[in-house]
Structure 1
Amino acid sequence: MPVSVKTYAGVEEAARALSASRSARFFGGGTLVMRALNEGTQAFDTVIRVTDPALRQVKPEGDRLTIGAGVTMAAVLANRDLAFLHPVARSIGGPAVRTMATIGGNLFAACPYGDFTVALLALDGAVTIAGGGRALNLDDFLKVRDREPRVIVTSVTITRPRDAQAFRFHKVSRIKPKGISVLSIAAHLPQSGGRVNNARVAYGAMGPTPLRVTGVERALEGRSLDASGIAPALAAATERLDPPTDALASSWYRREVAPVHLRRLLLNQAG
């Protein structure tokens, strides 16, 4: 099936064209769309691109930071303001993939992909969508993501950790360092007086989309990050979760290893 490519200078114009066509898909970095095309997809016949440079900007705003949806993993690694996200970007694919893969595209990656989104979720991410600048908490966006495939995310705004040790990320894969996730964990663990205050913990590859582990967050509140302090959080590590079974791991296996790797992350022992 022939595929047409339409390029727009502005995001709003592209968003109108995308929402008007059920046979169109947005082209961010291309790692998802091009794979579908190479596999002979019949799901769409039009690819929409945007050249707006605003999609590739990074803007610090006090204790928050806005990252354009077109920022690539390679650009993250080159940006000092995003140093706390370097380990996350480095875990995604090899150099060729990182020069293409974008922040916005990662938001739409199906399980077990989407590791960068796990980090954004732990950092209280909020997405801005073209077409009036609608803003959604990342938690809410992920719940409706698959029902809204024809929206363009323009940016993601996150909390910038005040302490480098407060943000932690760990990816478990069978092929290192860039394999597909068996499990990924991200946590923002601000502390006050040696006690966790307002923890956010997220998993990848433990559900259909990246998800927050609210039971773990509640169990960590007011606790110290030592073996006794994190014990309640480990007990809640897989509470109410139904991980997928795929070619990488079974649901049972993911449930078994999640507390092990969560413990390593919380004790800052994850490699």
Structure 2
Amino acid sequence: MALALQIFSTVKDANAALKSAGTRYLGGGTLVVRAANEGDISVTGLVRSTEPSLSAIDVAGGKVRVGASVTMAAVARHPELGILAKAARAVGGPAVRNMATVGGNLFAPTPYGDFAVALLALDATVTTQDGETQIDTFLDRRDASRAIVTSVGFTLPAQDGFRFLKVSRVKPKGVSVLSIAVLVERAADGTIASARIALGCMADRPMRARAAEMALVGATLTKEGIAPALAAANEGTSPATDPIASAWYRNEVLPVHLGRLLLS
């Protein structure tokens, strides 16, 4: 099946072209091109933009803005984005990371989307021509979105405040059994003042473990302190059963790996 590709110098013009039926935005192509190759006849045309801001990374005053066309490889090697290097390297092998983009990962279905899990834990914002949206809201509504994502933004956390883990059966680039990202802020007495826990593969898109987050507030990062959070980790989850793992297995191993990540 032949696909028409239209390239525009501005996001505005690319957004206008996306209004045509059957068109899809082409970022790195790791999702949409594969879908077309596998026979998705709903894709009849591809649109992309070469606007320079889409490939920019800006870090200033503790604030980060990453263009939607920035690749996983570019994130992994950026000297000021070390906290995200592990999450970026969790996406496929080198060839995939040289193509896969930050914006595209936001739309990746389970069991993919490991980088989006990290962004969810970081409470990122997602920017389109319609404005800026919190990532929680964006992920909930992403299937209905037709506006091109232009960037994501977040605040750099404290050095030891952010942690990420991908669990897979094939190292180093296997598909996820699950992925977990945690952002914790501690009070002066060492207890946890706030927590965000994001999970991949525990629903059809990245989700928050809100019950576990609430259980962590006021606790200490000790085996005893995190026990209530681990007991609540599976609340609200609906993991898939696929060739990688069963829903039962994902539910069983989630508290184990969350505990290891919190205590690491």
TM-score (norm 2): 0.97
| Matching of residue 2 in structure 1 with residue 2 in structure 2 | yes
Counterparts of 2:21 and 2:215, CA distance in 1: 44
| Matching of residue 207 in structure 1 with residue 203 in structure 2 | yes
Q: Which ranges of structure 1 fall in alignment gaps of 5 or more residues?
A: none
After superposition, where does 1:109-188 map in structure 2 within 5 Å?
A: 109-130=108-129, 132=130, 134-148=131-145, 150-163=146-159, 165-188=160-183
Partner residue in 2 for 1:53: 52
**How many residue pairs align between the two structures?**
263
Partner residue in 2 for 1:260: 256
Counterparts of 1:16 and 1:23, CA distance in 2: 13
| Matching of residue 251 in structure 1 with residue 250 in structure 2 | no
1:175-224, Cα deviation, whole Å (9 max, x unpaired): 01111001100001121221112211100000010001111110111211
Superposition deviation, residue 63 in structure 1? 3.2
Counterparts of 2:247 and 2:185, CA distance in 1: 31
> Which has the higher mean CA deviation after the structures are superposed, 79-88 or 239-248?
239-248
1:157-180, Cα deviation, whole Å (9 max, x unpaired): 1121122x2110011111011110
The runs of at least 4 aligned residues of structure 1 exceeding 6 Å deviation read: none
Partner residue in 1 for 2:32: 33
3-state SS of 2:81 partner = helix
Q: Identity, % of aligned pairs?
A: 51
Task: Say which of 202, 221, 225 aligns to 1:225.
Answer: 221
Superposition deviation, residue 41 in structure 1? 2.1
After superposition, where does 1:54-69 map in structure 2 within 5 Å?
A: 54-69=53-68
Q: Counterpart amino acid of 1:96?
A: A
Q: Which ranges of structure 2 fall in alignment gaps of 5 or more residues?
A: none
RMSD: 1.1
Counterparts of 2:132 and 2:51, CA distance in 1: 19
Q: Counterpart amino acid of 2:22?
A: S
Superposition deviation, residue 246 in structure 1? 1.1
Partner residue in 2 for 1:190: 185
TM-score (norm 1): 0.94
Partner residue in 2 for 1:242: 238
Counterparts of 1:159 and 1:123, CA distance in 2: 7
